[in-house]
Structure 1
Amino acid sequence: MQWFEDDDLWVGFAGAMFPARREAEAADLIETSPLLKAAAGARVLDLACGPAFHVAPLARRGAEVTGVDLSPAMLARARETCARAGVTARFVQADMREHVEPGRYDLIINMYTSFGYFTDPGDNRAVLRNAFTSLAPGGTLLVDVLGKEVLASWVGRPQAVDTEDGTVFMRDTILDDWTRLRTDWTLVRGDTVRHASILSFLYSAAELRALFEAVGFADVECFGDFDGSPYDNKARRLIVRGTRVPTRGVRGSDED
């Protein structure tokens, strides 16, 4: 079993991964970020949606939102989030290496460093290819990760996070010449201790931009935060956006 297939991990460490403040932050981003604008009626996919912290406010603004996640536990929590918010969304349990709905969406988002989960680089590329195919012409993909450049400024410093479930101790280790990151988590709850390791690929802005372009995205841009600021030495995230532009047929008509 790969780490991301373990539902016990998502349940056991949910307090650290998805604290209550993140739900409020997600709602604020949907209201204020120029990168996350979705018009009423827009067809939006949250790929690896987790507890639907972005799905609910997007649906509240009138978008037709689908959330895809591999974890049954996360999808159950996602439905609870939307029920609590009084909104409706569509949820699908699927592996993002395989999930594709040709031409269905105007916007696809992938948040909280949910890209790069897979040991085989070809699988990560397949995720982008599936997203490209699932976009309507003119649609955009937005991927939010911790880029190598941002990570380098603080990686290696152990962290402790208090949650309602206990205290989570986190330590990051760079592997394979800055190709991958292992994050070791230890949850201490009373007299019980639980360990988990998360392994993911790392990307620089140039590397992720090149990957977008290799699968066909055009107008690829990198940002340092959700306010649209540049990806520079002040960046807090690496946010990459690409567009599936319509292809021009021989007679001048747009084709998918």
Structure 2
Amino acid sequence: MRWYADDGLWSDFFETMFSRRRAEQAGELTAGSPLLDFPAGSAVLDLCCGPGLYLVPLARQGHKVTGVDLSPAMLERARERCAEAGAEVELVRADMLDYVAPGRFDVVLNLFTSFGYFDDPADNLRVLRNAHDSLAPGGTLLVDVLGKEVLAGWVGRPQVVHHEDAVVFQRDTILDDWTRLRTDWTLVRGDSARTATITSFVYSGAELRSLFESAGFTGVECFGDFDGSPYDNHARRLIVRGRRG
């Protein structure tokens, strides 16, 4: 089983990946980011939607929202979140490697470093091509990751995340000449421990821009944060946006 198909990983490390603060930030970004400002009534796909942190605020803005994820556990959490908020959202269980809805969406979002999961670089390009084909002409894809240039400033320093009843230890390691990242997690709760390893490709701004262009996108732009700032030495994220011509 590939790491991202392990439903237990998403459930066991849920508090670390999807904290309450992250949910609050999703609402703040959706309300205030110029990169997430779409015409009312847009058909929006959240690809790898997880527990639906962005689904509810997008739906509240009047968009027609679809969330796609491979994890049944995360989709169930998304379903509960949307039901509690009274948000009408379509949820689909599918692998982003295979999911294509030709010409259906005005916007495709892939947020919080949910890109680069596949060991074969051609598969990661295929994800972008699927997104391209799922967009209507003039539609926009937005991918949000931690770029190499951002990672270089802090990667390798062990991190500790404290929860009410558990502690998570995290260590990141760069692999294969700065092409891939491995993250090792250990969750300690009481007298038990759970470990997990995540691997993914990492991209520079230039590399991800080139990948977008190879997938057929035009007008590709790189940003350093959701405020639309440039991707430079002050960048906090690598956000790439491209359009289907």
| TM-score after normalising by structure 1 | 0.95
Q: Report how many aligned residue pairs link the two structures.
A: 245
Work out whether residues 44 and 106 of structure 1, in 8 Å CA contact, stay in contact via their aligned partners in 2: yes
Provide the residue aligned with 1:222 in structure 2.
222
Work out whether residues 15 and 165 of structure 1, in 8 Å CA contact, stay in contact via their aligned partners in 2: no
Provide the residue aligned with 1:78 in structure 2.
78
- Aligned-pair distance for 1:39? 2.4
Given the superposition, is the C-alpha separation of residues 164 and 76 from structure 1 closer, same or farther in structure 2, using an over 3 Å criterion?
farther
Provide the residue aligned with 2:32 in structure 1.
32
Distance in 2 of aligned mates of 1:165 and 1:110? 31
The structure 1 segments of at least 4 consecutive aligned residues displaced by more than 3 Å after TM superposition are none
Aligned ranges for residues 1-256 of structure 1 at < 5 Å?
1-245=1-245
- Aligned-pair distance for 1:40? 2.2
Distance in 1 of aligned mates of 2:39 and 2:74? 26
Provide the residue aligned with 1:248 in structure 2.
none
Q: Which amino acid aligns with 1:216?
A: G
Distance in 1 of aligned mates of 2:53 and 2:191? 31
The answer for unaligned runs of 5 or more in structure 1 is 246-256
SS for the counterpart of 1:52 is coil
Given the superposition, is the C-alpha separation of residues 158 and 43 from structure 1 closer, same or farther in structure 2, using an over 3 Å criterion?
same
Given the superposition, is the C-alpha separation of residues 199 and 58 from structure 1 closer, same or farther in structure 2, using an over 3 Å criterion?
same
SS for the counterpart of 2:34 is coil
Q: Which amino acid aligns with 2:205?
A: A
- Aligned-pair distance for 1:215? 1.1
Work out whether residues 19 and 163 of structure 1, in 8 Å CA contact, stay in contact via their aligned partners in 2: no
Larger radius of gyration: 1
- Aligned-pair distance for 1:228? 0.1
Distance in 2 of aligned mates of 1:102 and 1:112? 24
SS for the counterpart of 1:35 is helix
Work out whether residues 113 and 144 of structure 1, in 8 Å CA contact, stay in contact via their aligned partners in 2: yes
Distance in 2 of aligned mates of 1:164 and 1:22? 17
The answer for unaligned runs of 5 or more in structure 2 is none
Q: Which amino acid aligns with 1:203?
A: Y
Identical residues among aligned pairs (%)? 67
- Aligned-pair distance for 1:165? 4.7
Q: Which amino acid aligns with 1:232?
A: D
Distance in 2 of aligned mates of 1:35 and 1:73? 29
Distance in 1 of aligned mates of 2:156 and 2:123? 27
Distance in 1 of aligned mates of 2:17 and 2:165? 12
Distance in 2 of aligned mates of 1:243 and 1:179? 26
Q: Which amino acid aligns with 1:214?
A: S
Distance in 2 of aligned mates of 1:113 and 1:168? 19
Deviations 1:99-125 (A, max 9, x none): 000000000000110000000111100
